[in-house]
Amino acid sequence: MSPAAPFESYCTSVVRPLAQTTRVERERLIAAAHYNLFRLASDTVTFDLLTDSGTGAISNQQLAALIMGDESYAGSTSFEQMKSVITELTGFPFVIPTHQGRGAENVLHSALVHAGDVVPGNTHFDTTKGHIEFRKAHAIDCTIEAGKNPTSDHPFKGNIDLARLEEVLQAHPRERIPFVLITVTCNSSGGQPVSLENIQAVKTLCHRYGVKVFLDMARFAENAYFIKTREAAYRDWTIRAICREMFRDTDGATMSAKKDAITAMGGFLALHDEDLYRHCGTFSILFEGFLTYGGMTGGTMAAVAAGLQEATDFAYLQSRVEQVGRFGAWLQQAGVPIVLPVGGHAVYLDASRFLPHLQPTAYPAQALAVAAYVAGGVRGVEIGTVLADRDPETRAERHPPIELYRLAIPRRTYSDNHLRFVADTFAALLQQRDTIPGLEIIWEAPIMRHFTCQFRIQG
């Protein structure tokens, strides 16, 4: 007999206190931070939903791994342990450890991406696009149209539009397309999954044109869960079998272990081809560290190995994804406009519908982020015009199809009661949304400005 209510697949053994501040204090703190939530000290935030990257609660097995790690500079047994788990999950025989996901991107892009190249994919993540554009190349978004519609109920809104992708492949010389990137799940389009049918079709198309296929696998386990629960052909497959099928016949993958490996730091680049491994290895040693540690401690590598196994457990994935789904349902019941279906790691609010009185030039998602912090001590993140940044050539503002505000849920960290409070905060904000002012930028960095730019209230 099934239990009457859902429950987490773990119990709590270590806790830490939540920060407590007043509204007056938060008004002062956010003004001092120039209305950029990245500039807030963590001890001034009560519910930190800025990211799910590196913020999850580690398990007792991971804690033991951190202590037992082999800290040898070369030939670490912890690296071999991590590599063995990665190869079993992905099928890739060559693994380069890095300090985090963007380190893996830097190594791969240094080896393959050059000025004038194009990298098609499904709504590239901010660091991915940053690495591409830093090298004077171009990221081309080929996400299906349903992925740009926040109310569409398409189960795999992270899918790549095959017709659009083929247009790109036909329009550019083969040597100008270093690879096609599939991001699973697709964070920047609302945390939406990619179907295995679509992944296989992309691989078939790219192989016909002789183009490499890579995956950004930061949330690969959550993507596999959606394949199992939403794609009928794979209902009876295990999570790990689905993972192997996702990576089969691809050329490699970048990984931020801070997501689906549930560690505070770490990442890797996994590859199929030995020649490419050797080429990337030069950049790894230059930027990250030796090939058997790559910016990670031995303890971190051992914790990554344990985390990858825990994250591909069905019971864990079910409890995580269902909690995020419940949070989304509470917001929706309160009338808060969110992206549907709810993804696996976050709930995305449609800031344009939440604040219809603000134009895109007033940065409505950033304005909503500021208002949420002042109202309830909640820190989320803008994924809209600010993050989209300026066109690197014209310097014009780039306005994405949807102005999103993301509430990312750290793994195994917050209770349902915590998330109910957050949902209530937004329900109250909705009733006073007309009073929320827009923002304007007073300083910004030349690339990836959202991390450090400064704002002031309009008017």
Q: Which residues have a catalytic role annotated?
A: 73, 125-126, 216, 218, 259, 450
For residue 7, CA distances in Å to 75, 274, 323, 421 come to: 41, 44, 9, 19
Tell me the C-alpha distance between 314 and 236, whole Å.
12
DSSP string computed for 373-388: HHHHSEE-EEESHHHH
The Cα-based distances of 173 to 3, 32, 116, 178 in angstroms read 57, 50, 11, 10
178 preceded by cis ω (within 30°)? no
- The string of DSSP codes covering 264-301 is SS-EEEEES-HHHHHHHHHHHHHHT--TTTTT--HHHH
Partnered with residue 347 across adjacent β-strands are 407
* Sign of the alpha-carbon dihedral angle for 51, 217, 289, 304: positive
Strand order in the sheet with 267-271: 94-98, 267-271, 252-256, 213-216, 180-183, 118-121, 138-141
Q: What is the β-pairing status of strands 47-48 and 439-443? A: unpaired
220-230 and 314-333 are packed helices; what angle lies between their axes, rounded to 10 degrees?
Answer: 80
Residue 6 CA neighbour count, 13 Å, CB half: 15
Q: How many residues does the chain have?
A: 459
Q: Are 79 and 298 in contact (CB under 8 A)?
A: yes
In whole angstroms, how far apart are CA 302 and each of 80, 82, 133, 165?
9, 6, 34, 38
Cβ neighbours, 10 Å, residue 251: 21
Q: How far, in Å, are 32, 33, 51 from residue 44 at the CA level?
A: 12, 11, 16
